[in-house]
A and B are shown apart, each in its own frame.
Chain A
Amino acid sequence: MQVKLFAAALGTLAFVFGISTTLTAQRSAADGARALEGGWVRLDTSGSGSFGGLTANFARAALTPEGAAKLKPQRDPDDVEPDNRPHKAGEPYIVTQGRCGGFGPGGVEPNSAALFIIPARDEVLLTREGPGARHIYTDGREHPPLSRIAPGLGHSTATWENGDLVIDTVGLPEGGVTAGGWRTPETHLTERYHVEDDGMHMRITFTWTDPKIYAKPHSYSFQFERVPADGYAFENWCDSGDPLQRQSVVPPEQLP
């Protein structure tokens, strides 16, 4: 009888210990999710004054000859041909076609709008302050064949590693990559989202791998600051029907 009781107690202990171990493992992902949740704003950490200036400091991509042959100048398809003449103060000029409603392919890199991260059951949702979202599947599914990935933001799956969210993406449309890189649908993008110990800063490390394009993985990081607890998402407004949408800022009077 005593032996049986001891065995039962031992079994119960093992069961409870099993639950507790599982909870500890889950807590790691749950802690990561709690830390990541919310709004984040990209920082210019080098004081370069623009994100273009910031990315100019990144290490350039080491390309294979095949990768280098693919590089083409990139341009926003909405831009119009510049007229290449100086403009007087107060004289606005046309810079874009004013097109709204497109959700540019390959828009995986954050811009100056706040980025919102919503870790939820089965999926982490990455959103900005307008239409569209990145859907990051965390339910264990695999990437479908490239031929079945809809054009746009590729197909992303993710796992939690010590509280970091690690996203793997394939199927992105062909195009340029920051710091002299290139991508095709076959290229893998790994993003690691790491929240610093202070809980207020985050680093996203992008790593592009593709043996056809890169001689070695092409990696760089962006820094973010948390949107304050009482902050909220804005809503970007763009109206193609407004003629001002096409114009530059009005050139100000220049100092002599």
Chain B
Amino acid sequence: MKAGFLVVTFIAALSGIVSAQANARDISGYWELTYMDSQHVPRPQLVPRVTRAVLDAQAQKDFKAVRWCNILGMPAIMASPRPLDIRQSEKTIVIAAEINAATRYIYLNRTTHISKDIFDPTTNGDSIAKWEGDTLVVDTIGFDPNKGVTAIPGGGFRTANTHLVERYRLLNNGSLLSVRFTWTDPGVFRTPHTYEFRYARLPRDYEARLPLNCDPFDETRTAFLTARP
């Protein structure tokens, strides 16, 4: 009798361990950035080359992207005011947003980036990832400096030489997702620029909506965007 009980207990315990490990390494779900948890972004230390004039010129490019409803790209997608749908399968993690941003693809089945000789830079860049314990480490390069909104929270902007490392980790029994962003770019930042966003898990019955529509020929919108206060 004892033997049977022990076998059953052992199998149940094993299955519990496997399940717990699987959950810690599965960030699938709908995640919403909470207002308070996106506010504590330190100011980066910018290199002297990044003057006020450089920042203003970059802001003008970003404004044009918003004005014409261009796809926004990184890092704007991760600061979406609407939920992110993050889905994880064996080889890929995909982040789909309800804003005008191209879907992000993060590859778990690659350990190196696509060669610069063949990769056309994009607003989201080329992302590869691996698990370090319960932390998903995502490494991204290959940003297009001229497309989308390039502004980085806190200050600075992405360029063709920008390197981003994100560390994703579930907190509070999986009800929160912490993402720690570290941006490095010798042409923009004097030291790595790091900040953390926290996303709250939405209920399982949440239903995704179409991305917010953006009409570049909406005159009212254009007038609102270009009006001087």
Contact = CB atoms under 8 A, between A and B. Distances in A.
Contacts, number: 148
Interface stretch (A45-53, A86-94, A124-132): A124-132
Interface residues of B, number: 55
Contacts of A240: 68-70, 216-217
Contacts of A128: 103
A123 B217 contact: no
A121 B210 contact: no
A131 B211 contact: yes
A4 interface: yes
A101 B85 contact: no
A64 to B, nearest CB: 30
A199 interface: no
A119 B4 CA distance: 37
A127 B217 contact: no
Nearest to B64: A241
Contacts of A153: 210
Interface string A113-146: 0001011111101011111110100010100100
B130 interface: no
A241 B67 contact: yes
A135 to B, nearest CB: 4
Interface string A156-192: 0000000000000000000000000000000000000
Interface stretch (A55-63, A208-216, A228-236, A248-256): A228-236
Contact of A8 (B1, B29, B126): B1
- Size category of the binding interface on chain A: 35 or more
Interface in B41-98: 64, 67-71, 85, 87-92, 94, 96-97
A212 B23 CA distance: 46
Label chain A's interface by main secondary structure: loop
Contact of A120 (B7, B88, B213, B217): B88
A132 B126 contact: no
B223 to A, nearest CB: 16
A133 B85 contact: yes
A168 to B, nearest CB: 15
A8 B204 contact: no
A101 B216 contact: yes
Contacts of B91: 37-38
Contact of A130 (B102, B204, B208): B102
A139 B87 CA distance: 14
B68 A131 contact: no
A125 B102 contact: no
A118 B69 contact: no
Given A130-B71, A229-B109, A125 B87 contact: yes
Given A132-B96, A133-B96, A127 B3 contact: no
Contacts of B219: none
B120 interface: yes
Interface of B: 1, 3-5, 7-8, 11, 15, 26, 28-29, 64, 67-71, 85, 87-92, 94, 96-97, 99-103, 105, 107, 109-110, 114, 120, 122-124, 126, 147, 204-205, 207-211, 213-217
Given A118-B89, A131-B71, 20 more contacts: A5-B1, A8-B4, A9-B4, A11-B8, A99-B216, A99-B217, A116-B103, A121-B26, A122-B29, A122-B204, A132-B210, A135-B85, A141-B205, A229-B109, A233-B103, A233-B105, A237-B147, A238-B70, A240-B69, A241-B67
11 contacts: A16-B11, A19-B11, A101-B214, A118-B89, A121-B28, A127-B96, A130-B102, A131-B102, A133-B96, A238-B71, A240-B69
